A and B are shown apart, each in its own frame.
Chain A
């Protein structure tokens, strides 16, 4: 089917620093889970930040439904329907869970239904209901990640970009996070996932993209990426790891 988001030949970097992304390509299809893998420093997080407007796109373009996102601020990209959950999870440690949820709806033009919407989401994530008056900073890593992901659903976004949701979590908890992600995808949210843990990420995704040295090296169905011997060798720590 048609593409939802298209990143073409994008160059980007931090401040006046060198280009981390150097001609990256990416096609995002609606409703699928896309997993971007690659070694440290390959530019995976940089790519997500360039899409959401946190970093300036120096060259190339980012097209969303055929419309350029270049030069937009993060809050403007968000209002187009693209949510970004960064590695640090973007929580407010000294606000309660409930207040964090309310902040999730900050960009809504009409907040009259906000409390109801939060109640609905809390029903689906009992842990958030249980902890609603607790400061977010006092929760465990998995709970914080759950909050960060659940919070994006308030906006009913088209695309949710997740930067290493597994970071610092125990393997069992990581699977829970991927389950939440799959559940979001099942509701029609397109997912763009960046994972250090390439194996687990690909297993939970539909589409795999290999990024290295700022360029897209490979892109294809997640199954094919998992089985490609060259990729196994270079990026999946050899087939033994499976």
Chain B
């Protein structure tokens, strides 16, 4: 009788070996790096269209998408890789926007110059906040992130130095209408590319492995010798930095900063929604998600034109995605081994 049992184990071993071989075969199929590079090249060349006509609307859409791709990729580093869902990341959008915006308003230095600095400030603030709130986990963390938005809203609404609830108007640049969007367009495209690149680098580093271990099982990760506290706080800081840089440039692009631009729930929701729709924890997911949501918003707002219905629609998409499409576009395709090679950026 016993010999039967041992035979079973050897079968299992053999099956495991075969499974591993299959996995190795799949990983062996090379990912395609030329595709994102070509897309980036096209995006950088696109403004040449302005020589033949006024394509400001197209530029605006791409710029808007790139802005959200940056923020969603940033969010993904904490929410996707590390598994800490934050509904309060618009706080960093706000801090970045106000920091660079106030420098622009007072000293006339463009946010294009100060954006990296705004990113650093947000990383520092993110580090401090993360140091505190990352002690909590799961729903507690989500709730604490919501409380953070509420606190920030009250502070910014009542901070007279930055104009309180009315905010501050920022000077527009003196380029002609045709070229006025260009600096921001390039800034956002470059930021988005950087966010994607950094995500890729993180995912393929020891750091990224640690983050994924934390998202799978934090206690095990810790007992495996990963300094989880430092890891996740760093992830929080990096993620805040990207959102902050996007905020910095967004303020100047809109030519005003006001709490109800940055600290509204839809901004945080969009980041989360993009990552879920595109595929949480994947590199390409946030970008795909940003494209989908911006396109959807454009159609929806154009046809219905009401912010209430926009909230309703966002909620509906989010609920449906969570219930029936939790892995997102990239995750679902990958799970079915149908992910086109051009979208495999991981």
Residues of A within 8 A of B (CB): 212-213, 215, 217-218, 230, 234
Contacts and interface: CB of A to CB of B under 8 A. Distances in A.
B28 interface: no
A213 B8 CA distance: 9
A230 to B, nearest CB: 7
Contacts of A215: 4-5
A76 B135 CA distance: 43
Contacts of A213: 5, 8-9
Nearest to B9: A213
A230 B2 contact: yes
Nearest to A230: B2
Contacts of A230: 2
Given A212-B5, A215-B4, A217-B5, 9 more contacts: A213-B5, A213-B8, A213-B9, A215-B5, A217-B1, A217-B2, A218-B1, A230-B2, A234-B2
A13 to B, nearest CB: 14
B290 to A, nearest CB: 32
12 contacts: A212-B5, A213-B5, A213-B8, A213-B9, A215-B4, A215-B5, A217-B1, A217-B2, A217-B5, A218-B1, A230-B2, A234-B2
A213 B9 CA distance: 9
A230 B1 CA distance: 11
Interface in B1-47: 1-2, 4-5, 8-9
A217 B4 CA distance: 10
Contacts of B2: 217, 230, 234
B198 to A, nearest CB: 34
Contacts, number: 12
B76 to A, nearest CB: 26
Nearest to B1: A217
Interface residues of B, number: 6
Contacts of B5: 212-213, 215, 217
Nearest to B5: A213
Contacts of B8: 213
A43 B9 CA distance: 15
A234 B6 CA distance: 14
Nearest to B6: A213
A218 to B, nearest CB: 7
A212 B3 CA distance: 12
Q: Which 9 A-B pairs have the closest CB atoms?
A: A213-B5, A217-B1, A213-B8, A212-B5, A215-B5, A217-B5, A218-B1, A217-B2, A230-B2
Contacts of B1: 217-218
A33 to B, nearest CB: 24
A228 B304 CA distance: 80
A171 B9 CA distance: 35
B303 to A, nearest CB: 42
Contacts of A212: 5
Nearest to A218: B1
B7 to A, nearest CB: 11
A57 B65 CA distance: 50
A230 B2 CA distance: 10
Nearest to B8: A213
Contacts of A218: 1
B342 to A, nearest CB: 31
Nearest to B4: A215
A215 B1 CA distance: 10
Contacts of A217: 1-2, 5
A121 B8 CA distance: 48
B212 to A, nearest CB: 21
A212 B9 CA distance: 12
Contacts of B9: 213
A215 B9 CA distance: 13
A218 B4 CA distance: 13
A230 B8 CA distance: 19
Nearest to A210: B1
A53 to B, nearest CB: 27
A92 to B, nearest CB: 23
Contacts of B4: 215
A39 B5 CA distance: 13
Interface in B274-333: none
A218 B1 CA distance: 9
Nearest to A212: B5
B296 to A, nearest CB: 33
Nearest to A22: B8
A222 B257 CA distance: 80
A234 B2 CA distance: 10
A198 to B, nearest CB: 17
A4 to B, nearest CB: 25
A232 to B, nearest CB: 14
B12 to A, nearest CB: 9
A218 B2 CA distance: 10
- In this complex, the member of A213, A218, A230 whose beta carbon has the largest number of chain B beta carbons within 10 angstroms is A213
B10 to A, nearest CB: 12
A215 B6 CA distance: 12
Nearest to A214: B8
A218 B9 CA distance: 19
